[in-house]
Amino acid sequence: MTIKTVMVIGAGQMGAGIAQVFAQAGLQVFLNDMNEVALDKGMKNIEKLLARAVEKGRMEEEEKNSTLSRLTSTNTINDAQHCDLIVEAVVENMNVKTKVFKQLDEIAPKHAILASNTSSLPITEIASATNRASQVIGMHFMNPVPVMKLVEIIRGLQTSDETYQAIENLTHRLGKTPVEVSDFPGFVSNRILMPMINEAIYTLYEGVASVEDIDTVMKLGMNHPMGPLQLADFIGLDTCLYIMEVLHEGFGDSKYRPCPLLRKYVKAGWLGKKSGRGFYQYD
Ligand code: CAA
Ligand code: NAD
């Protein structure tokens, strides 16, 4: 199966990046969000990043224009009827995601693959909201999508080999590296990354060191490009909390207990970089 036209649902930090890399790889792309402001922000962000690539000499003006010509913003999910693949990148919440997948199952053509960019939620459960479980798969991009080379591909219990192969081939077309992963809470990436971030938050909560010092230890001591608290702000503290909750519930092990300070910040609306305040202040 050759994938030519895709829809990305959710134009937040992940959805906009995913739409950009698809359009750059020559696919026709619909970018959808139920929030007009978010959709507009997502499209503007793509334009800004492409303009910067031209400025830096990494892209010709012509390529920028042709990439943009392949991108259509839409406020209706009904455009899924024109697509071979739909990638969902809405909030990390099972109820919201299954509602989207139920709708997509009715609208998308019979041959279309339905993929989720979920960070941690079970693909098998998302697939059970549809009548095409063999064509449902996890396609987990990393943030920032245009820069990061990895795509974790998650097979649900009933994902077919044909579906897996189509997504693996597409990942190569995007210039990224696929890794095949089984459907377990947090997959590989967030099973390892998120407990580290949660532990960094506990380290702050227990007064062991300051925000800056915790990040400096991990940047200079372990050569991480960002400290764990800066990375948590970058990912979004709401997303970090949802992922820890999935790990905690999924494994039933207290070692995954989300730090109370993380819960407090999310309750306060301190969601990190996207809300202007998290462990750091952004203005
Ligand atoms: N979107 C697109 N491009 C971006 C970007 C963004 N948000 N931020 C930086 N870039 C690009 C810049 O344009 C720049 O390229 P040019 O120099 O050609 O313009 C390049 O990346 C390097 O950027 P900077 O020099 O400004 O900064 P840097 O060297 O510190 O790199 C970084 C920025 C790539 C984000 C780096 O800090 C990094 O790798 N951080 C860790 C990222 C990470 O761990 N991501 C995984 C998060 S977990 C996840 O995604 C899974 C999940 O489910 C939660
Ligand atoms: P975000 O909050 O930046 O964006 C989510 C967008 O989805 C918002 O613009 C919202 O308006 C939109 N949305 C919500 N419900 C919708 C619906 N029913 N229909 C259409 N649009 C809807 O979130 P994000 O950080 O882009 O995360 C999106 C998904 O990607 C989550 O599942 C998250 O776990 C996953 N993910 C996030 C990261 C990260 O670093 N932030 C990395 C990899 C994967």
pLDDT tens by residue, 207-241: 999 999 999 999 999 999 999 999 999 999 999 99
pLDDT band at 2 (very low <50, low <70, confident <90, very high): confident
Specify the 3-state DSSP secondary structure of 129: coil
Phi, psi at residue 111, to the nearest 5°? -80, -10
- Give yes or no for a contact between 243 and 92, defined as CB atoms under 8 angstroms apart: yes
Query: pTM to 2 decimals?
Result: 0.97
Please give all residues whose beta carbon lies within 6 A of any atom in ligand 1, as ranges.
Answer: 49, 52, 56, 58, 119, 142-144, 146-148, 189-190, 193, 225-226, 231, 235
CA of residue 260 to ligand 2 center, whole Å: 23
Residues 6+ apart with CB under 8 A from 253: none
Residue owning tokens 């506990």: 202
Catalytic residue among 190, 198, 199, 249: 190
Structure-block tokens of residue 62: 């012509």
Q: What is the C-alpha to C-alpha distance for residues 274 and 277, in angstroms, rounded to an integer?
A: 8
